[in-house]
Amino acid sequence: MSHQSRSSGIAVASLLVLLTANCGPAPATPPGPFVIRVAAPGTAASLVQALAASYRELHSNTTLQFQPAEDLAAANAVRNGAADLALCAAEPRPDDSQLEVRPLARQPIAVIVNRLNQVNALTTNQLRGLFIGQITDWQALRTESGPVSVVSREDGAPTRTAFEGALLSDGSRVTRNARVFSSEEAVVKEVSARKGTVGYVLSSYVGSEVKALLVDGQAPEVQGVLDGRYKLYRTLFLVRPAAQSGSTQGFIDYLLGNSGRRVLAASGYAPVAEGR
């Protein structure tokens, strides 16, 4: 074979290799980007941010978009398609066929007093006596004397509903003499400003300006809620449409799995086991 023929053969072979390579499957491209819209009240904003950062590390093509909305509005946003899912502290109607609702986590509710108050721990009965107005002077608890001033969230607030449900199971209500405030921050501010006050807030709002009390010897911590020793808590519900999209279902699987549960616990929530 001549030198020219051999060169032609090599050229043809090279061309065939190139053509074969070009006819192969195209390189896979990651799907997305996806945006999952999460409606939730302001008390859950830091949780949504923590979940968004954690999920983004595992799924770089998906972004969680926080939509501030109080509980009823958050559930309605899921119902009308304005949000993909919601986190609600008040349970939506259980008979709503458009929504699927399940308890996701529980937040400890802390009983707080002024830093100058000598009380560090209460029994459930003592706590009940304070909040229904039976105990009106701190001296009844074998501490220094002074009038008791009860501070509460407003009627209908999820924290108040949960607090009354856990502490006042006989149907009693927080005393009508309580000073009522419309946010956890306002309750903390009031308790920190007045020595004789006692109130309650989600444990994540407790800072150095107030003192959280032990209740029946238990601190308002996630572990105590998990093992059933601490009884004062508020439930956070996961609300989603009855029909799910693939990207949203993937996030829900993450949220209910070990990775999501770790973020919940680190954010001050006690994850609820399936079926509880």
Task: Name residue 118's amino acid.
Answer: Q
**Residue range(s) in the chain whose domain bears CATH number 3.40.190.10:** 34-106+235-271, 107-233
Which two structure tokens, joined as six digits, stand for 92? 């939506």
Assigned architecture for domain 107-233:
3-Layer(aba) Sandwich (3.40)
Q: Residues 220-271: pLDDT tens digits?
A: 999 999 999 999 999 999 999 987 667 788 999 999 999 999 999 999 999 9
**Residue keyed to tokens 């978009």:** 65
End-to-end CA distance of the chain: 83
Q: Residues 16-49: pLDDT tens digits?
A: 344 344 444 544 445 668 999 999 999 899 999 9
Assigned architecture for domain 34-106+235-271:
3-Layer(aba) Sandwich (3.40)
DSSP secondary structure string, 5-35?
HHHHHHHHHHHHHHHHHHTSPPPP-----EE
Please tell me whether the overall predicted TM-score, pTM, comes out greater than 0.85 for this model. Answer: no
Q: Residues 90-126: pLDDT tens digits?
A: 888 766 788 999 999 999 999 999 999 999 999 999 9
Q: Regarding predicted confidence, which is higher, 28 or 160? A: 160
Residues 93-125 as b/e (b if ≥16 CB within 10 A, e otherwise) read eeeeeebbbebbbbbbbbbbbbeebebeebeee
